[in-house]
Amino acid sequence: MSTSRRILTLTLAITPGIGAKTITRILTKNDLYARTPDEFLALGAEALCEEYKINQTVSERFSTHKSDYLDQAKDLNQTLSALGVTAVTAADAHYPRQLEHFDPKPPELLYLYGNTKLLTANTFCVLSSRKTSEAGLVEIEKATEHHVLRSRTLITGHDTTEYQRSAVTALRWGAPRVLVLDTGLFNALGDDLREEPFAAARLWRYKFDPRTDLAISAVNPYRPYHRSANKIRDRIIGGLSMHLDGIQVKPNGNMEKLLILGLRSGRQVQISELSPNRQPLLDRGAQILPILNR
Q: Residue 221, CB half-sphere, CA atoms under 13 Å: how many?
A: 24
More confident residue, 136 or 197: 136
Contact 248, 273 (CB under 8 A): no
The predicted pLDDT at position 120 comes to 96
Over residues 90-95, the mean pLDDT reads 91
Over residues 129-144, the mean pLDDT reads 96
Residue 124 CA to residue 231 CA, distance in Å, equals 18
Q: Which residues of 184-205 are buried (b: 16+ CB within 10 A; e: fewer)?
A: bbbbbbeeebebbbbeebeeeb
**Contacting residues for 115 by C-beta, under 8 A, at least 6 apart:** 176, 210, 211, 212, 213, 214
Q: For the chain, how are helix, strand and coil distributed in percent, rounded to 5?
A: 50, 15, 40
Nearest alpha-carbon partner for 21 in 187, 227, 257, 240: 227
Over residues 133-157, the mean pLDDT reads 96
The predicted pLDDT at position 1 comes to 79
The predicted pLDDT at position 110 comes to 96
Residue 117 CA to residue 139 CA, distance in Å, equals 28
Nearest alpha-carbon partner for 278 in 268, 267, 289: 289
Per-residue pLDDT tens for 225-276?
777 889 999 999 999 999 999 999 999 999 999 999 999 999 999 999 999 8
Give the model's confidence band at 292: pLDDT under 50 very low, under 70 low, under 90 confident, else very high.
low
Nearest alpha-carbon partner for 109 in 188, 184, 187: 184
More confident residue, 21 or 260: 260
Give the model's confidence band at 103: pLDDT under 50 very low, under 70 low, under 90 confident, else very high.
very high
Per-residue pLDDT tens for 26-78?
999 999 999 999 999 999 999 999 999 999 999 999 999 999 999 999 999 99
**Contacting residues for 276 by C-beta, under 8 A, at least 6 apart:** none
Residue 177 CA to residue 196 CA, distance in Å, equals 12
The predicted pLDDT at position 19 comes to 87
Q: What is the mean pLDDT of the chain?
A: 93
